[in-house]
Structure 1
Amino acid sequence: MTRIRILVVDDEHDFLKLIKRRLTKRNVDVETVTNGEDALAFLAEHPVDVVILDVRMPGLSGIDTLKEIRKRFRDLEVIMLTGHGSMQSGIEGINLGAYDYILKPFSIDNLLDRIRAAHEHARLRIERRAQQ
């Protein structure tokens, strides 16, 4: 089975270190950046399967970053993260094309299940388009 490649975008350095360590142990290739601008630059140079994107960040917000991802990388699935207990931000992300959202704190297994589902969703969509 091919390892899933993800990009995690969050301005909390300790969170990024923890999530990278925990997902890497579960056979996921994890890259991290701390803001939306760096995420867009990274994605322009490096293919990934799924983006995990924090909603609230300084500079380019997660919602604005999602809008740019939708414009530039139409097949890339995005899972929005919010640590502020607001489902409204997650719903806004879904309405803008995010695959899913998850509230912090969360279990790593729950996140991994959502990453796998998002990856499979993108794979099937790309296959269907290729068959048309």
Structure 2
Amino acid sequence: MRRAKEGKPVTDFRVLLVDDEVEFVETLVKRLKKRKLDVMAAFSGKAALELVRQQPVDVVVLDVKMPDMDGIQTLKEIKRINPSVEVIMLTGHASVEVALQGMELGAFDYLMKPMDIDELLYKLQDAYKRKWCKQEEMECILPNGLKTD
């Protein structure tokens, strides 16, 4: 992860929470903003896709079960629009298999509902670190496929 001059981790990355449970999302947004994260919310897969198209997003926390467009469909579209966005699938006990399917399709990880806020924070930071490292690696690759030192 990038580090500030003082050696502290950079926390200025953007998170998008996607879940059709409005109260859950609003509460989570408040809790993450208290921890100085830049957080946006969407209450459907379609709304999430619009935000991903219009604004820079680093990490998406995506509920598996939503009406209209489920988490798997939304994940596929997010990765099509912007493959560098990391996605953490959010699931209940009954849909762990779907979350694992999401990981096969490019999701970074998954969390079970209800989740511990600290566990979410660790996963968000790890997902952002992965995105940042991938971008750094890509910037170091020359057109002929060789990496720079």
Instruction: With the length of structure 1 as denominator, give the TM-score of the two structures.
Output: 0.96
Alignment partner, residue 62 of structure 1:
71
AA aligned to 2:102 is G
Quote the Cα distance in structure 1 between the aligned partners of 2:120 and 2:11. Answer: 18
Deviations 1:31-86 (Å, cap 9, x if unpaired)?
00100011101111110110000000001111000011111111000000012443
Is the Cα–Cα contact under 8 Å of residues 36 and 60 in structure 1 kept in the other structure?
yes
Quote the Cα distance in structure 1 between the aligned partners of 2:21 and 2:80. Answer: 26
Which of 113, 118, 127 in structure 2 is aligned with 1:118? 127
Equivalent pairs counted in the alignment come to 132
Alignment partner, residue 35 of structure 1:
44
Deviations 1:79-117 (Å, cap 9, x if unpaired)?
000124432011111001000000001100000000000
Instruction: With the length of structure 2 as denominator, give the TM-score of the two structures.
Output: 0.86
Quote the Cα distance in structure 2 between the aligned partners of 1:59 and 1:86. Answer: 17
Alignment partner, residue 44 of structure 1:
53
1:109 aligns with 2:115: no
Unaligned runs of 5+ in 1: none
Deviation at 1:122, TM superposition (A): 0.4
Larger CA deviation: 31-40 vs 84-93:
84-93
Quote the Cα distance in structure 2 between the aligned partners of 1:2 and 1:64. Answer: 29
Going from structure 1 to structure 2, the CA distance change for 1:41 and 1:109 (only over 3 Å counts) comes to same
Quote the Cα distance in structure 2 between the aligned partners of 1:103 and 1:91. Answer: 12
Unaligned runs of 5+ in 2: 1-9, 142-149
Paired-residue identity, %: 43
- The runs of 4+ residues in structure 1 deviating greater than 6 Å are none
